[in-house]
Amino acid sequence: MGRPFRCAAPVLAAALVLGNLSVRPAAAGPAPARSGVTDDVDPFVGSGGPPPWRSGGTTPAATVPFGMLQLGPDTTDDAVHGAPSATGSGYAATDRLVRGFSPTHLSGAGCRVFGDAPLLPVPGAVPDHLGAATTELVRSSERATPGRYAVALGNGVHVDLAASSRAGLLRLAYPAGEKAFALVKTAGRVSFPSDHEVAVRALGGGFCGRNNRYVVHVLYRFDRPFRSRGVETDGAWVGFGRERVVRAQVAISYVDPTGARRNLDLERPGWSVSRLAARTDRVWGAELGRIEVSGGDPGVRRIFRTALYHVLVAPTPISDADGRYPGFDGRVHHLPVGEAQLSSISGWDVYRTEIPLLALLRPDVASQVVRSLHRDAVQGGWLPRWPLVAQDTGVMNGDSAAPIAAAAWAFGARDIPLAEVVGELVRQGDSVDGPREGLTDYLRLGWVPVPGVRFGASTTLEYAADDFAISRLARAAGRRGTAARYLARSGSWRHLLDPTRRLLQPRDASGAFPPPDVDGTTCCTGFQEGNPLQYTFGGVPQDMAGLLGSLGTEAMVAGRLDDFFDELNVGGEPHAWLGNEPSFLSPWAYHWLGDPSRTQDVVDRARAELWSLTPAGLPGNDDLGALSAWYVWTSLGLYPLTPGTPGVAVGAPVFDRAVVRPLGGATLTITRSGPGRHVASVTVDGAGRTASWLDLAPARRPRRIAVTTTDGATPWGTGPVDRPPSYPATSPGTYPGQDGS
């Protein structure tokens, strides 16, 4: 594993931007860059582990917070054909070879995409087959910090990279006396706009095997003219004689070549990697400084800041610096100054943890997410589940735009067209010819039957949670009739409760559960990326009290949970899978049983056993920050409970002091004192509180939370009135049609 750089002192701040939206601290509630903050981040964490489920899938590529461009290595173990790595990011810590350094990556996804137009420096001579060319990565030489990456190659070239939002810089140091060449690999169109520029039009897509496509325009601008050049079927090459050091600026656009050129000209990355990296380091310091922590274990602090770094990598803009972007209708649209069109929104993954965290820290970005999804719907007809560039990949089940919008609103992202968003959500939730698979049966029966829909059980649970989220937003918009109707629909989970097994189970169209001789704990039979146990203990966030009360006495359910957490990350086996989203909420089931000490036992074990400062240091796909957000929340002693509400569970923070500085909002200070890991008492703004949860809505958000801990379980949070709220449906039965409200 490579070591991080010791970054130079930040230079005068430059306005690195998300779209036209500045990521600099706002005047109200600044988060100043702090010495050493970025030194705690290790971008290699999560870049290893066995794929597909135990790999974090992250990349050490250089980028800024919410950067459009992620400039970094594309690795392979295929020395014959140079085929891309199987990881979602295109980088694997165990690969021996590099096929190039490209400006597009996706960090933490379970499926591979991007890696467009990689540049590979080659000394000596141009190889016969550009696309198959690789060279060794000298792993001991790898270095990375937020915004910078460097490595020595087996062919003698040293590569140093830095990035801004839409542009980046490569420094290529060649061996003395060797001719210097650079390969630009692509199956797309290549041109030479000048004697020192290479332009590429690359076609990508096929994310998770789906029929999605995108076009990206890449411009490489070198610091000297070519002495030779050529185009092959799999790319282009340029030569520079026996130059020792060659630099190349790079920019991208999803609109056209002019967009890439404008992005490069407007962002002006310069020709010094160190200066650009220092500029970017200052921006990262400001964003990471939104949560200042002190005390506690230094290694835990590094894991925490690395997790926060991963949260802030996505989503990413597809709009150019001039506001143009490709729409879902196939047309080019133009945004006003201050607006950005965001994509790479990993819907099913991020609504539970990352969106609430972004809405707390950066409500402007979370609002941009919702506005971007709304524009997608206006242009494409429906709200997307998982947008990638200008198409919906349709990956995963459910209708994730609903809990994304509702969670964003609940935690403070209020700069959205609420009435219009609710209108789109309701239209989508009522349209049997829309993207909700199995909706006709869901409305008629109350569940989505199998085998007609492969993951009918988890789809039902997602729709129930989605409908609850819609009810919350409809209520905020003043549509009380719609809110009541969708609240009733949120009770559809009860139709999946198998009274014999006391588990949530798939049902067919006749209403039959799996027969007794069929294993009721099998992964992925009716459930996407999970099994009945995992969904039973975490799949009904809107009514956990109702769910747990349906499973037996509290003592019985607590015992089942204890058995469930015997193992914490078993994949599809009948125990917890905390490295995947369906199990994220399950430790807090104990909160609803009046036993928060047991929650703390599980959460502390999970952080200690499943996270580390290694490439295999994440327990699963990071899913564009969703898994890392789980770590951030729990380290603060908080956890968002129900998408669409601002309620968070309270537990023991890992740091003596954490200061949360939301953009434009009041500072929240969380302190911990005392030995042990169990909560003995909590004060909120100086007043004692026994409830095991808090309301973080903007108007009711506290300024100070003080937690006192001790060894051993305590009576704190155990009273019936201390449990988190649940939101039972008014009726779990079939549903009327549209009420016009």
What residue type is assigned to position 157 of the chain? V
Q: State yes or no: pLDDT of 725 exceeds 80.
A: yes
> What local confidence, expressed as pLDDT, does residue 35 receive?
44
Q: State yes or no: pLDDT of 2 exceeds 90.
A: no
**For the ranges 77-86, 131-140, 286-295, 690-699, which has the lowest average pLDDT?**
77-86
* CB-based contact 72:178 (threshold 8 Å): no
> What local confidence, expressed as pLDDT, does residue 11 receive?
31
Banded model confidence at residue 18, pLDDT cuts 50, 70, 90: low
741 or 69, higher pLDDT:
69
Domains of the chain: 17-288 (2.70.98.10), 294-649 (1.20.1610.10)
When the pLDDT of each residue in the chain is averaged and rounded to a whole number, the result is: 93
Residue from 580, 451, 445 nearest 526 by CA: 451
Q: State yes or no: pLDDT of 5 exceeds 60.
A: no
High-pLDDT (> 90) share of the chain, %: 88
The predicted-structure confidence for 200-225, as pLDDT tens digits, reads as follows 999 999 998 888 999 999 999 999 99
> What local confidence, expressed as pLDDT, does residue 135 receive?
98
**What's the pTM?**
0.95
For residue 315, whether the previous peptide bond is cis, meaning omega lies within 30 degrees of 0, is yes
Read off the tokens for 563.
């058995």
Q: What is the mean pLDDT of residues 233-251?
A: 98
Banded model confidence at residue 741, pLDDT cuts 50, 70, 90: very low
What residue type is assigned to position 37 of the chain? V
d(CA 229, CA 183): 10
The predicted-structure confidence for 302-337, as pLDDT tens digits, reads as follows 999 999 999 999 999 999 999 999 999 999 999 998
> What local confidence, expressed as pLDDT, does residue 4 receive?
55
> What local confidence, expressed as pLDDT, does residue 535 receive?
97
Helix/strand/coil for 190? strand
Banded model confidence at residue 520, pLDDT cuts 50, 70, 90: low
Q: State yes or no: pLDDT of 521 exceeds 90.
A: no
Read off the tokens for 17.
């931007």
> What local confidence, expressed as pLDDT, does residue 8 receive?
37
Q: What is the mean pLDDT of residues 411-425?
A: 98
> What local confidence, expressed as pLDDT, does residue 30 receive?
36
Read off the tokens for 108.
């933490």
> What local confidence, expressed as pLDDT, does residue 516 receive?
75
Residue from 418, 565, 494 nearest 726 by CA: 494
The predicted-structure confidence for 432-487, as pLDDT tens digits, reads as follows 999 999 999 999 999 999 999 999 999 999 999 999 999 999 999 999 999 999 99
Q: State yes or no: pLDDT of 41 exceeds 50.
A: yes
> What local confidence, expressed as pLDDT, does residue 649 receive?
99
> What local confidence, expressed as pLDDT, does residue 54 receive?
84
> What local confidence, expressed as pLDDT, does residue 733 receive?
41
Strand partners, 97: 76, 136
Q: Which residue has the tokens 């953009």?
A: 663
The answer for residues whose C-beta is within 8 angstroms of residue 711's C-beta and 6 or more apart is 675, 676, 677, 678
Q: State yes or no: pLDDT of 3 exceeds 60.
A: no
Q: Which residues of 296-335 are buried (b: 16+ CB within 10 A; e: fewer)?
A: beeebbbbbbbbbbbbbbbbbbbbbbbbbbbbbeeeebeb
Q: State yes or no: pLDDT of 426 exceeds 80.
A: yes
Q: State yes or no: pLDDT of 24 exceeds 60.
A: no
**For the ranges 71-85, 160-174, 192-206, which has the lowest average pLDDT?**
71-85
* CB-based contact 65:632 (threshold 8 Å): no
* CB-based contact 542:464 (threshold 8 Å): yes
> What local confidence, expressed as pLDDT, does residue 168 receive?
99
Q: What is the mean pLDDT of residues 34-41?
A: 80
* CB-based contact 136:120 (threshold 8 Å): no
Q: What is the mean pLDDT of residues 719-735?
A: 79
> What local confidence, expressed as pLDDT, does residue 36 receive?
82
Q: Are strands 342-343 and 387-388 parallel, antiparallel or unpaired?
A: unpaired
Banded model confidence at residue 713, pLDDT cuts 50, 70, 90: very high
The CA distances from residue 556 to 126, 191, 252, 560, in Å, are 69, 69, 57, 6
> What local confidence, expressed as pLDDT, does residue 53 receive?
76
Q: State yes or no: pLDDT of 68 exceeds 80.
A: yes
